[in-house]
Structure formats: C-alpha cells, structure tokens
Amino acid sequence: MRAFQVSEIGSPPKLLDTERPEPASGEVRIKIATCGLNFADILMQSGQYQDTPPAPFTLGMEIAGTIDSLGEDVTAPAIGTRVAVFGGQGGLAEYGCYDARLALAIPDSMSMTEAAAFQIAYGTSHVALGYRANLQAGETLLVLGAAGGVGLTAVEIGKLMGAHVIAVARGADKLEVARKAGADHLIDAGVKDLRGALKALGGVDVVYDPVGGDLFKAAFRACNPEARILSIGFASGDVPKVQTNHLLVKNIDVMGFYWGGYMKFKPSVITDSLRQLFKWFEAGKLRPHVSHVLPLEQASEGIELLRSRKSTGKVVIEISAG
C-alpha cells in the first residue's frame, strides 16, 4: 500500500510503498477513504508535538473509512461499517489498523469528507468550551484564529451554547467565513489596538486561543473578572508567558487544553462529547467547513496550506486504495 511517511525526524515526509498491515488482537483494519490534516502534523515532522511517535511513522491523525478486517476477539464494528477514528497517526495511508474501541460509526447523512474533518476540530471546541471553561449562555466568547480548523468550530459551538461570539481572523475573506459560522462581531487580527476593540465591546468572559503570541497578550488584557482563557495551541510560533500575579487582580483562570490527552486518562469525556456532536450534526446544527480536498499524491501541498495559513476550516486528503 501507499503511505505518507516521516522516515527521519526533521526530514520531509514522502509517499512510499509499504506493507499492508494486519490487525492485531482487539484491532480493526480500515480501508481509509479520507484523512483530515491538522497543525500537529506539521509539528510531528520536526518532533515538536507532545505525542510525536518514533520514526518511521505515517502522518495523519483522524480518518474516515470502511472496516476491512477484524482482529482476534473483535466482533464489532462489523466488516463494511463506515467509521471515523482518531488514531493520532497512520491516517495518510491506504489502510490502517486501530483499536476497535476507537472506531465510531458515521451517521448515514455524513460524508467521508465531513467525517475526516469532524472529530478533532469539533471535539476540541466542544470539550474545551463546555467541559473545561464551562461556557454559559449570555457570556462573551472571544475566538482567536477564528477561520482555522478548530477556531471555526469554536465559533459554531459557542453560538449553539448561547454565547455572544467575537471572531478574530486575518483578512476580510477569513472574517466572512467566521461570520457565516455565526460570529456576532468580527475583528481583523491586524488591528492596531485589539485590546481596545475588545474592551469597546464589553470585554470577554472566555478566550479560545489556538494562536498564542501577541493576540494572547491583548486578549488577556481585555478579560472581564472571572474570565477563563483556554490555551489550545501556538500557531503563531510564540508561546506567551503569563505573570501569575496579574491573574489575581481579576481572578482569571488560564487553562491548558489538549483534546487527545483525554483518550489516555478520561476517554469518556471524548466519547460523550462526540455522541452529542453527532446528534447536532444529524439535526443540521453543525456543518464542517472544508476549504480544500486533495488526493494523497498532494499531501505535501495540503500540509503547506496549513503552514502558510492559506486554508480555512479543514484540509482533507482523499485516499483511493488499490
């Protein structure tokens, strides 16, 4: 089979011919149809991601496909079932083997492209806003990087939860994407005085930040008393430092958040969240935004779209197995 692999940390991944895997006990093999790309795929190449596997490994954290084979002691999902899986790696390949407990049946109304764009982006925002930050109806939610893979879902879910949503993104085109997702106010990330613009809107109660850097600093200074800041990632490349004495003045909480970490110590948080998200999808309340769909041969171009911030929502790779 073909697989898009990192042979050595720090070297560019390449599309290689590899052996088709066989499922071990407790695993299923999936004929992969689509794979959603994530910023973590970029970090893994250089070994900067917290869960970077040892090389060689295949990139691709979340996939959708069809159950192809069952390992020993596995009776479900049945062969032929359409499923989505968050596996952490291995998705940019024609076949992959995963723990059967991670394979979630896809709603009939959900396409393979939508399924590959769904789990991480929506799961991250739902668990972060609901479980961690306890976002309440009527509160003001600030979403930084609001047109990106996770940021756009935070806009959608924040509106579903009854929040007043301020979206920050760079450029009119990206801000328009955030507006269509439900943002109440739009602010260009290049504005000279972001803190002032946020204070003029009444300040913020919850900050959703996958960007870091100067945007974090401005958002921090615009927080209302008892605000909660969700540190999701650092797409800017700048990890901000917090002076903890400043937290005391307004009783502000800064929360680290890593969605995949719950798979290791509290998986029910993720599975319960995904059940609710699938219900919202089937009710027509969520609709994944995919700006680019590319073939496996163009996986490098897909990753570059994320690196250069030329995509909105998700980039999905289509994989047609031989």
Tokens linked to 11: 């070297």
Average pLDDT value for the chain = 93
| Residue 142: CATH number of its domain | 3.40.50.720
pTM of the predicted model, to two decimals?
0.87
Query: Do 11 and 135 lie in a common domain?
Result: no
Which segment, 94-98, 275-279, 310-314, is predicted with the most confidence on average? Answer: 94-98
Asked if the model's pLDDT at residue 321 lies above 70, the reply is no
pLDDT attached to residue 255? 94
Query: Do 243 and 193 lie in a common domain?
Result: yes
Q: Is the residue at 13 inside a domain?
A: yes
Query: Do 9 and 97 lie in a common domain?
Result: yes
| Residue 39: CATH number of its domain | 3.90.180.10
Share of the chain above pLDDT 70, in %: 99
Query: Do 211 and 309 lie in a common domain?
Result: no
242 or 155: which leads in pLDDT: 155
Query: Do 302 and 246 lie in a common domain?
Result: no
Query: Do 125 and 113 lie in a common domain?
Result: no
Query: 96: domain range?
Result: 2-118+288-318
Which segment of 21-25, 65-69, 96-100, 272-276 scores lowest on mean pLDDT?
272-276
Query: Do 84 and 134 lie in a common domain?
Result: no
pLDDT tens per residue, range 148-170: 889 999 999 999 999 999 999 99
- CB-side exposure of 168: number of CA atoms within 13 Å? 26
pLDDT attached to residue 322? 46
Q: Is the residue at 276 inside a domain?
A: no
pLDDT tens per residue, range 33-80: 999 999 889 999 988 888 888 989 999 999 999 999 999 999 999 999
pLDDT attached to residue 198? 98
E strands present in the chain:
2-6, 14-17, 27-36, 57-58, 62-70, 82-86, 95-99, 104-105, 140-144, 164-169, 185-188, 204-209, 223-231, 253-256, 290-295, 314-318
pLDDT tens per residue, range 172-200: 999 999 999 999 999 999 999 999 999 99
Query: Do 102 and 124 lie in a common domain?
Result: no
Query: Do 132 and 67 lie in a common domain?
Result: no
Query: Do 78 and 124 lie in a common domain?
Result: no
Q: What length does the chain have?
A: 322
Q: How many domains does the chain have?
A: 2
Tokens linked to 96: 């992959």
